[in-house]
Structure 1
């Protein structure tokens, strides 16, 4: 797993062999960032990477010019790997690695984000509540974008902030706008 473009292109993202963390595939990540690059300028953006895992999406955003990334996860191996990658890239001053339950983090944050990556476990019990919490609480900035990764059988077209989705085999990424 490595960074595919930008300032840190080619750098490896630290990871462990744990099966408890499901990283975003390189194919999906490339497509997501191609799609995002056509819709936003990463330069100076504030990013939130929820269920960050090893931080692949957040570190990619930093490489492309994001000003700051908050990584939120509870998995010990994932947190250690993200800290190691942040040190290796020299971005500890441009990132915050938060050991927290995602719902608790969303309840207490007062920050607004230009981009939110959300990659919950596919067994997550209530995607709609999670989406509503992010979009209703003003977690997204005025032009903010939320991406949520999930299985293809879930459909969120009925939600007011829905924009579009893309399918990658059994994975669907749904895009929402503030």
Structure 2
């Protein structure tokens, strides 16, 4: 795996075997950040990366200048890997790692973010609850963006905050904004 662009562009990292994550492919991640770069300035933003997995999205955000990144992951091996990689990249001060169930974290969170990224397990039975919770809890700042990675088994186009969908093979990114349609 590698960081696509920014300060750490080209840096590679190798998660240990046994991490129960399905990392976003480099192709899909590159496409995602092309869209995000055209939607918002990533420098100095506050971001929330839920279902953090290997931390790949968080490292990419840090590489592009995000100032305050919170990553939520419940798997202990994944959390330790993210901590180690953050230290290796010297971003431990701007990367806040929380070991928790994402739904428990979201229900108690009161902070607002410029960007929220979610890459849940594709078979997550309550994936449709994520946009509902994020908007009911008002977790996005005005003009903030929420990106949900999923498959064709889910369709969020009828959600009142849905903005657009980008399809990259088996990976789909649905984009939502704080401002409604």
Band of TM-score, shorter chain: over 0.9
Runs of 4+ with >6 A deviation: none
SS in 2 for 1:93: coil
Which residue number in structure 1 is paired with residue 46 of structure 2?
46
Which residue number in structure 2 is paired with residue 24 of structure 1?
24
Q: Aligned residues, how many?
A: 178
1:3 pairs with 2:3: yes
Gaps of 5+ in 1: none
Matches of 1:155 and 1:141, distance apart in 2: 24
Question: Does the Cα contact within 8 Å between 2:19 and 2:77 map onto a contact in 1?
Answer: no
Q: TM-score normalised to the size of structure 2?
A: 0.95
Matches of 1:33 and 1:13, distance apart in 2: 19
Which residue number in structure 2 is paired with residue 72 of structure 1?
72
Gaps of 5+ in 2: none
Question: Does the Cα contact within 8 Å between 2:144 and 2:177 map onto a contact in 1?
Answer: yes
Q: TM-score normalised to the size of structure 1?
A: 0.96
Which residue number in structure 2 is paired with residue 165 of structure 1?
165
Matches of 1:101 and 1:32, distance apart in 2: 25
Root mean square deviation, CA, Å: 1.1
Which residue number in structure 1 is paired with residue 118 of structure 2?
118
Range moving further from structure 2, 13-22 or 85-94: 13-22
Which residue number in structure 2 is paired with residue 92 of structure 1?
92
